[in-house]
Amino acid sequence: MNYAMSVGKIKEEIESRLQHNFGVSPENATDEHYYKAVALIISDLLCKGRAETKVDAEKTHTKQIYYLCMEFLMGRSLKNNLFNLGLEANFREALSQMGIKLDDLYEEEPDAGLGNGGLGRLAACFLDGLATQGYPAIGYSLRYEYGIFRQKLVDGWQTELPDFWLPGGKVWLQEVPEKAIEVHFDGHIEEGWNNQYHIVNHKDYTNVLAIPYDMYVSGYDGRCVAKLRIWAARSPEFDMKMFNSGNYMRAMEQNAMAEVITKVLYPEDNHVEGKSLRLTQQYFLVSATIQDIVRRHLFKYSTLDNLPDVAAIHLNDTHPVLAIPELMRIMLDECGYTWEAAWDIVTRTVAYTNHTVMSEALECWGQDMFRLRLPRIYQIVEEINRRFCASMHEMGVDGYQVGRMAPLNDGYVKMANLAVAGSHSVNGVSALHSDILKETVFHDFYTVMPQKFQNVTNGIAHRRWLNQSNPELAALLTEKIGSGYILDASELEKFMAFKDDKKVLEQLAAIKHGNKERLAAYIKQANNIVIDPNSIFDVQVKRMHEYKRQHLNALHILSEYMWLRDNPNADYTPHTYIFGAKAAAGYYFAKQMIRFIVKLSEIINNDPRVNDKLKVVYVEDYRVSLAELMIPAADISEQISLAGTEASGTSNMKFMINGAVTLGTLDGANVEIHEAVGDENIILFGMTTPQVNDLKQKGYHPEVIAENNADIRHALRELGRGLGGVDFHDIVRSLSTQDPYMVLADFDSYCKAQKKAQELYLDKTAWQKMCLVNIAQAGRFAADRAIREYANNIWNANPLPMAKKAAVKPVPAPAQTLAAAPASAKKPVPGKRK
Rounded to 10°, the helix 31-60/7-22 angle is 110
DSSP, residue by residue, 737-752: II-TT-HHHHHHHHHH
Residues 208/284, Cβ–Cβ less than 8 Å = yes
DSSP, residue by residue, 584-596: -TT-HHHHHHHHH
Of 618, 659, 661, nearest in space to 639 by CA: 661
Q: CA 595, CA 159: separation in Å to the nearest integer? A: 11
Active site annotation includes 654: yes
Active site annotation includes 462: no
Q: Counting beta carbons within 10 angstroms of the beta carbon of residue 814, is it exposed (0 to 12), middle (13 to 18) or buried (19 or more)?
A: middle
Q: CA 403, CA 141: separation in Å to the nearest integer? A: 32
| Annotated active-site residue in 297, 654, 780, 785 | 654
Residue 189, beta-bridge partner list:
202
Q: Is 729 helix (H, G, I), strand (E, B) or coil?
A: helix
Instruction: Give the burial string for 321-343 (b: 16+ CB within 10 Å, else e).
Output: bbbbbbbbbbbbbeeebeeeebb
Could you give the count of Cα atoms lying within 13 Å of 414 in the half-sphere of its Cβ?
17
Residues 544/583, Cβ–Cβ less than 8 Å = yes
| Annotated active-site residue in 353, 645, 650, 689 | 650
Residues 662/644, Cβ–Cβ less than 8 Å = no
Q: CA 227, CA 131: separation in Å to the nearest integer? A: 9
Q: CA 209, CA 175: separation in Å to the nearest integer? A: 13
Q: CA 269, CA 277: separation in Å to the nearest integer? A: 8
Q: CA 655, CA 299: separation in Å to the nearest integer? A: 45
The amino acid at residue 399 is G
Residues 407/385, Cβ–Cβ less than 8 Å = yes
628 Cβ contact partners less than 8 Å away, ≥ 6 residues apart: 75, 464, 465, 468, 469
Tell me the three-class secondary structure of 339-368, residue by residue: HHHHHHHHHHHEEEECCCCCHHHCCEEEHH
Active site annotation includes 355: yes
Q: CA 760, CA 775: separation in Å to the nearest integer? A: 18
The amino acid at residue 35 is Y
Q: CA 474, CA 483: separation in Å to the nearest integer? A: 9
Q: CA 49, CA 551: separation in Å to the nearest integer? A: 47
Q: CA 545, CA 534: separation in Å to the nearest integer? A: 30
Q: Cite the DSSP H helix spans in 23-152.
A: 31-60, 78-84, 88-97, 102-108, 118-133
Q: CA 687, CA 663: separation in Å to the nearest integer? A: 14
Active site annotation includes 457: no
| Annotated active-site residue in 543, 556, 591, 615 | 543
Q: CA 339, CA 348: separation in Å to the nearest integer? A: 14
Residues 558/719, Cβ–Cβ less than 8 Å = yes
Q: CA 677, CA 671: separation in Å to the nearest integer? A: 10
DSSP, residue by residue, 471-513: HHHHHHHHHHH-SGGGT-GGGGGGGGGGTT-HHHHHHHHHHHH
Q: CA 751, CA 748: separation in Å to the nearest integer? A: 5
In 3-state terms, the chain is what percent helix, strand and coil (to 5)? 55, 15, 30
Active site annotation includes 543: yes
Structural element, H or E, at residue 278? helix 272-301
| Annotated active-site residue in 542, 545, 591, 785 | 542
| Annotated active-site residue in 36, 92, 229, 355 | 355
Q: Is 585 helix (H, G, I), strand (E, B) or coil?
A: coil
- Catalytic residue set: 355, 542-543, 548, 650, 654
